[in-house]
């Protein structure tokens, strides 16, 4: 009997070590996630790291001919494209350690086990109606003399 228990404990410990090793491997892979995207006109290349953090930005000489607002839009769109690629790589890296049927994207977003009504923002709370004789909204608080009284 003791030998059977010892064998079960050894097997459980071995499973635990394999799981930890696999998790450590996934963590290393996640830490190395990078992705790059280049704008359609080729003027901007953005590179992001884990969690879509911008790590490099390359602008060609032609990029400087764009108007500032236009260049900003191209940079933002290109960085978003790179972040989407990095997110896809993150999902693929996580998939091996997730239970079958788990959506890695939903897990990363924090919505994996939530129903749509739980994700929706709560309805704004209505402020209670205060029945008061004085109406302070009509009072001009900026036009107060130094003595502290209204003008």
pLDDT digits (tens, 9 = 90+) for 71-88: 999 999 999 999 999 999
Cα→Cα distances 6→1, 12, 18, Å? 9, 10, 18
Q: Does any domain span residue 7?
A: no
Cα→Cα distances 127→18, 40, 48, 67, 140, Å? 55, 49, 43, 45, 23
Q: Does any domain span residue 10?
A: no
Q: Does any domain span residue 49?
A: yes
Please state which of the ranges 38-42, 63-67, 125-129 shows the lowest mean pLDDT: 125-129
In the beta sheet, which residues pair with residue 5?
none
Q: Does any domain span residue 4?
A: no
Residue numbers of the domain that contains 86: 32-138
72-86, 88-102, 106-120 — most confident range: 72-86
Domains in the chain, number: 1
Q: Does any domain span residue 26?
A: no
Cα→Cα distances 147→139, 140, 142, Å? 17, 15, 13
In the beta sheet, which residues pair with residue 38?
45
| pTM of the predicted protein model | 0.63
Of residues 79, 70, 1, 97, the one with CA closest to residue 34: 79
Mean pLDDT of 61-75: 96
Q: Does any domain span residue 118?
A: yes
pLDDT score, position 147: 53
**Does residue 22 carry a pLDDT above 90?**
no
pLDDT score, position 45: 98
Q: Does any domain span residue 20?
A: no
2-6, 108-112, 136-140 — most confident range: 2-6
Instruction: Read off the CATH number of the domain in which 117 is found.
Output: 3.30.1310.10
**Residue located via tokens 């003791």:** 2
């Amino acid at each position: 009997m003791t030998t059977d228990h010892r064998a079960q404990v050894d097997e459980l410990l071995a499973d635990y070590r394999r799981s930890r090793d696999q998790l450590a491997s996934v963590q290393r892979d996640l830490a190395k996630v990078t992705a790059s995207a280049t704008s359609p006109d080729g003027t901007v290349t953005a590179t992001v790291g884990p969690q879509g953090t911008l790590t490099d930005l390359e602008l060609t000489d032609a990029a400087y001919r764009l108007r500032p607002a236009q260049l900003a839009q191209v940079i933002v769109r290109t960085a978003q494209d790179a972040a989407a690629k990095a997110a896809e790589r993150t999902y693929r890296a996580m998939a091996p350690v997730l239970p079958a049927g788990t959506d890695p994207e939903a897990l990363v977003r924090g919505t994996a086990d939530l129903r749509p009504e739980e994700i929706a923002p709560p309805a704004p709370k209505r402020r209670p109606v205060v029945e008061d004789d004085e109406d302070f909204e009509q009072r001009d608080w900026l036009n107060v003399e130094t003595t502290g009284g209204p003008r």
